[in-house]
Structure formats: structure tokens, C-alpha cells
Structure 1
Amino acid sequence: MPMNSYDDDSYEERDYDDDDSEDTVEKYVWQLLLMINPGDEEAAKKQFSDYRNEVEDQGDDDPIRLVGQVTDWRSSFEVDEDDTRALVEALQELISRFQDVSMDWDGDPDDDEFHEDIDAAEIFNRAYNQLKPYGYTLWSREADDEVAAGWITSSSDDESMLMVATALRINLRRGDQLS
């Protein structure tokens, strides 16, 4: 997988050595940030800088928790899985980054009745199916119990996303694969 790099003080270009686990994790976090910010390398750079600052402050024992902190509601989300309103709002916020993408939720998410008969898995499924024709993939990542978490990538990055998720030990599924 080609590694992207840029000239910026917050990210030093490196020759990554697979034997250096800190650099390897950092390399995969960078790739993850590029993918969850499709077409917005500046956002990925900012989030990577924030990630590195959090690693300095908190350590690197749980890189995905730190990624979640620096990307929440910008390029990822974590909400209570029973709060379908928050889930729809989080998805709408992420989708708003993409031009010409519109969602048909098969109902009005502002209406209480919409939320009475729907759960997080169905919202993921609907959003996944709506995003796919635009060339985007909605992913669900494992988080704490009773938390819905995920991000959106370009569908062209699906294979790379699975490789990075495996390398970072993220339990990840496409939005249409939830039960």
C-alpha cells in the first residue's frame, strides 16, 4: 500500500521500519486519517497533529481511542446506539463534507415517529445504501458496549481500509453488515 506524505512541520517524513512498532502504528494512523477524510488532506494533517499531541500527553496504549477523540464529529462518530437521533445527526454532519450527496432516510428523521421503529443497525444500513452510489462507504467500528461508532471513506479505499483496520486491530464492518 503506498504511503502518502506531505511537507508540514507536524508530520516528519520518515522511512518507516516495520520493526519499529511506534512508527508502524503512527504510519497506519496517518493512513486511517487520510481515508476517513476523503479528499481533505488538510483535515487529516490537523487531526494527525492533534493525535500526536494526545500521544505525547496520554501515551499510545490505545491509538484508536485517541483517533476517536481527535476526529469525533469531524470525520468519525461515537454515539449511544439507542440514541437514533444523535446517530442520524452525526451521519448528517459527516455527510455534509461531501458535495452533491443527499440522503433519503425513508422518513423524516426530525419526526418522533421515525425514531420509534428504527434502530442503529437499520440507520447504518440505510446510510450505507444511500452513500454507496456516490462512491462512499460507511463503516461501523467496534467501540464500548452500547455505542455506535464509525466513519465514512471513499469506496475506492475499501480494501486499504480493511488492511489498516487489521493492522490497528480495529474490529470493523461495512454499514450494511450489522445485524
Structure 2
Amino acid sequence: MLKECFTKAQILAAEQLLTLISPSAAMASQHVQALREVELDEDDVEEFEDDPQQLMYIVKDVADWESVFFVDWKDTESFVQSVQQLAEARDAEVTFGVEDAEDEDFLDDTTVPELMVTAHDELHKQGLVLWNWSTDSDCYSGFITTRDVAAQLVALGEVLEVEIREGSEPF
């Protein structure tokens, strides 16, 4: 159970985060329920104890490719695909400024941070915000929300001890 490793406030913050980042109430409900059903084994408990950031990885796991992107630092193709899928779930479109964002030459000539800035700009014009959080690793992770939840996300990040910022400033 999560409460073996995380405080009630942290678990509540993770649930609220899932509600904010999910493109629909039904999906938010599914993700929150999945979070509540997470079972940790003894190794997890030992590893996660006193590390609230691990809760963000659990959030990522329950919502991956539905409300969250998580890609390797050099995996431009997965970044494009996951962000386009997340945008589509919010009735938005991200083209990355090209006709075919999955073109091999295009993907080879760009980086995930460059793509993130472009996607952030495109989504901002559609009333949405692309966010990313500090994974403290060589991966990028984030989500899309409406513009009006910025202050809430920052506050939730503080509870979860994770820095969350707009995709215009990739980590």
C-alpha cells in the first residue's frame, strides 16, 4: 500500500494531480482508482521510503500514454507519438511545425527538448499547456493541462517534492 511509503498529503496530491492531468473525468477516475490499487512489495517499500519523488513515477506508471508522457532523452519518435496522442485526447493537434513529424530525417535532426518547446507553443495557442517534471534521470516526462491549473500544479509539485514547470523550459 502506498501509505507505507508516502504521507496522506502526498497520496492526496498524487490523486489531485491525476485529476488535473487526465483529459476526462472518466479517465481521471480510472487513474485515481489504479493509483489506490497499487501494491508495493517489500523491496519497493525499502526503496521508496523517504523519497516522495517515487510517487511521481507511480503516477507515471498508472497514466502512461493516456495522461503522461515518459521518454528517453534521445527518443524523439516516442516523444512525438505520445504528445500527439495526449493532445488528441484533449481535442488538440500538435504538428511540431512540419508536415510529417514522424519523418526519420526530421526526428534525427531534433532533440526532445526542442520538440517540447515547439509542442508547448502549439498547445498554448490552443488554450493548453505542456508541462514537464524533473525526473532526475536522463528521461523526460510530463503532461498536458488547461491553462487555469498552473498554481495548483506548482503546489502539488511542492507536496510531492518534484519540480514541475512548463514545457517551454525543459529540464
| Separation (CA, whole Å) in 2 of partners of 1:92 and 1:150 | 13
Matched, 1:23 2:8: yes
Q: Percent identity?
A: 24
Q: Which of 133, 139, 153 is residue 131 of structure 2 equivalent to?
A: 139
CA apart distance, 1:24: 1.1
Give the C-alpha shift of residue 145 in structure 1.
2.1
TM value normalised by structure 2: 0.84
Of 163-172 and 58-67, deviating more is: 58-67
Distance 1:110 1:56 in 2: 37
Question: In structure 1, what is the Cα distance between the partners aligned to 2:72 and 2:136?
Answer: 9
User: 1:103 Cα shift?
Assistant: 2.0
Distance 2:158 2:39 in 1: 21
Separation of aligned partners in 1, 2:170 and 2:40: 35
> How do residues 1-179 of structure 1 correspond to structure 2 at under 5 angstroms?
22-38=7-23, 40-55=24-39, 59=45, 61=49, 62-99=54-91, 101-107=92-98, 108-178=100-170
Q: Which whole-Å CA distance do the structure 2 matches of 1:152 and 1:33 have between them?
A: 11
Q: Is the 8 A contact 2:95 2:101 kept in 1?
A: no
Instruction: Label 1:56 to 1:115 Cα distance change in 2 as closer, same or farther (>3 A).
Output: closer
Distance 2:97 2:157 in 1: 31
Query: Take 2:140 and 2:30, find their aligned partners in 1: how far apart are those partners?
Result: 24
Please list the CA deviations of residues 57-82 of structure 1 after superposition, one character each: whole Å capped at 9, or x if unmatched: 55574311211110111100111110
The ranges of structure 1 where at least 4 consecutive aligned residues each deviate by more than 3 angstroms after the TM superposition are: 55-61
Residue pair 1:34, 1:44 contacting (<8 A) in 2 also: yes
Q: Which runs of 5+ in 2 are unaligned?
A: 1-5
- Equivalent residues, number: 157
Farther-moved stretch of structure 1 (161-170 vs 139-148) = 139-148
The one-letter amino acid of 1:71's match is A
Between structure 1 and structure 2, the one with the greater Rg is 1
